[in-house]
Every structure is written in structure tokens, then in C-alpha cells.
């Protein structure tokens, strides 16, 4: 019977990120006084040692033929991978567009786009779910709490109404 080959490379992604950050920490704090860097250096050193153990453990398993350096667990299931990338990209676009579009409109557009990406095709849901969410967020964060979210066309349009209600 053939042994199942595991994608062990995925187990090294978090250690790689942690190592990169630890190295950056060591270099960026090299010139600081000891009180400022002592805690980070101790934690970072322990982290590097732990990562070395993990790399050794993965290397040993690869040498034993238990798996390869694939990243499959991160991408699988494959049919979801592009949906995930799409969701992250739309979230990033939402963050970037919010200062221009304002909270309510950016949220409405972002949510409609995400619903579509994820596979929702019913027009009623594509319209009403973002509308209900954006309206609730507007009501809580802008109308009730008056927090500092960016204002856009929707907020500007509703401002006189809000002023009238609060009077």
C-alpha cells in the first residue's frame, strides 16, 4: 500500500512569517538601549529556537518520505481558493474606497460584490441584504453614535434628515 504523501510545506508558512518578523525585530532594535529591546530579544530568541525545531521536524518527515513541501492545506478545497482571494481583494478595495464613497455606500457595494463572488445570484438577496446591513450600520455608527467614519454621498444626502430628527 502506498503511503499518503502530505504537503508539509504548509506547516512552515507561519514559522517563516514569524522568523521574518523576528529577524526584522532584531535588526530594527539593534541600536536601542537594553531596557527597550530586552523583552523582544528574549521572546524572539525563544521563537527562533522553536522555529528551528519545527523546521527540523518537517525536514525529518520529508527525509522519511512522509510528505513534500507542498502548500495544499492552505489552498484546499481548490474550488474555494479563488472565492477566498476574491473576498480578501474586495475587503481590501472596500477599505481603500471607504474614504471616497463613505461608509454606507462602500459597505453596500462591498457586500453585494462579496455575495456575488460567493455564489449568491438571487437579485432580491443581492439588493436587500446589503441594503439592510448598510442601513443598520448607518443607523448605529452614524445616526446614533456619530462616530468618525468617512462620509460620502449617502451620508451627505441623509445629513439634513438626521439633523431634523436630532432637533
Partner 1 sequence: MTWQFLLDQFAAQFALWWVVWLGILLGIVVGILPGFSPQNTLIMLLPLTLAVPVEQALAFMVALYCANHLAGGVPAILMRIPGSGGAAATTLDGYPMARKGQAQQAIVLSFTASVFGGLITTLATIALLPWLSKLGLYLRSVEMVIIMLFGLTLIAVIAAKDTLKGLISGFFGLLIGVVGTDHVYSEPRATMGFLELYDGVPLVAALIGLFAVSEALVMIEEKMIVEDDARERAMQASWADTIEGLRITVQKWWHIVWTAFIGLFIGIVPGAGASIAAFVAYQQSRMWSKHPELYGTGIPEGVIAPESANNGVTSGTLVPMMALGVPGGSTAAVMMIVLQYHGMVMGPRLFSTNPGLAYGVFVSMAVAYIFMIITILPLARFMARIVLIETKYLVPIILLVTIVAAFSERQYAFDMGLALVFGVIGYIAHKTNYHVTAMLVGVILGPLFEQYLVRALRISEGDLTVLFTSPVGNALWALLVFSLLVPLARSWWQHRASRSSPPQP
Contacting partner 1 within 49-78 (CB under 8 A): 50-51, 53-54, 57, 73-74, 77
Q: Specify the 3-state DSSP secondary structure of 67.
A: strand
Angle at 95 between CA 90 and CA 98, to 5 degrees: 110
Nearest distance from C-beta of residue 119 to partner 1, angstroms: 6
CB of 108 closer than 8 Å to CB of 130: yes
What is the rounded CA–CA span in Å between residue 28 and residue 50?
21
Query: Where does 29-64 have alpha helices with state H?
Result: 34-63
Decide whether 57 or 161 has the Cβ nearer to partner 1. Answer: 57
Q: Which of 101, 103, 105, 154 touches partner 1 (CB under 8 A)?
A: 103
Determine if 84 is a binding residue for partner 1 (CB under 8 A): yes
- Give the contacts of 107 (CB within 8 A, at least 6 positions apart): 94, 130, 133, 134, 137
- Sequential DSSP letters for 129-145: HHHHHHHHHIIIIIIIS
Contacting partner 1 within 105-144 (CB under 8 A): 107, 110-111, 114-115, 118-120, 125, 129, 133, 137, 140-141
Q: Which of 5, 60, 127, 146 touches partner 1 (CB under 8 A)?
A: 146
- CA 38: distance to chain centroid? 30
Per-residue cell: 49: 529556537
Per CB under 8 A, residues contacting partner 1 are: 10-11, 13-15, 17-18, 21-22, 24-25, 28-29, 32-33, 35-37, 39-40, 43-44, 46-47, 50-51, 53-54, 57, 73-74, 77, 80, 83-84, 87-88, 91-92, 94-95, 98-99, 103, 107, 110-111, 114-115, 118-120, 125, 129, 133, 137, 140-141, 145-150
Amino acid at each position: 500500500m502506498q503511503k499518503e504523501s502530505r504537503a508539509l510545506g504548509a506547516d512552515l508558512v507561519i514559522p517563516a512569517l514569524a522568523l521574518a518578523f523576528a529577524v526584522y525585530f532584531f535588526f530594527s532594535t539593534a541600536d536601542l538601549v537594553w531596557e527597550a529591546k530586552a523583552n523582544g530579544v528574549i521572546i524572539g530568541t525563544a521563537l527562533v529556537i522553536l522555529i528551528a525545531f519545527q523546521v527540523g521536524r518537517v525536514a525529518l518527515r520529508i527525509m522519511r518520505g512522509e510528505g513534500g513541501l507542498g502548500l495544499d492545506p492552505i489552498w484546499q478545497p481548490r474550488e474555494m481558493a479563488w472565492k477566498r482571494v476574491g473576498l480578501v481583494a474586495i475587503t481590501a478595495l472596500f477599505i481603500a474606497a471607504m474614504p471616497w464613497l463613505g461608509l454606507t455606500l462602500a459597505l453596500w457595494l462591498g457586500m453585494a460584490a462579496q455575495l456575488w463572488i460567493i455564489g449568491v445570484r438571487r437579485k432580491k438577496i443581492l439588493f436587500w441584504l446589503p441594503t439592510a446591513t448598510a442601513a443598520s450600520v448607518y443607523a448605529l455608527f452614524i445616526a446614533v453614535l456619530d462616530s468618525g467614519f468617512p462620509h460620502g454621498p449617502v451620508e451627505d444626502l441623509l445629513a439634513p434628515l438626521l439633523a431634523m430628527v436630532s432637533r
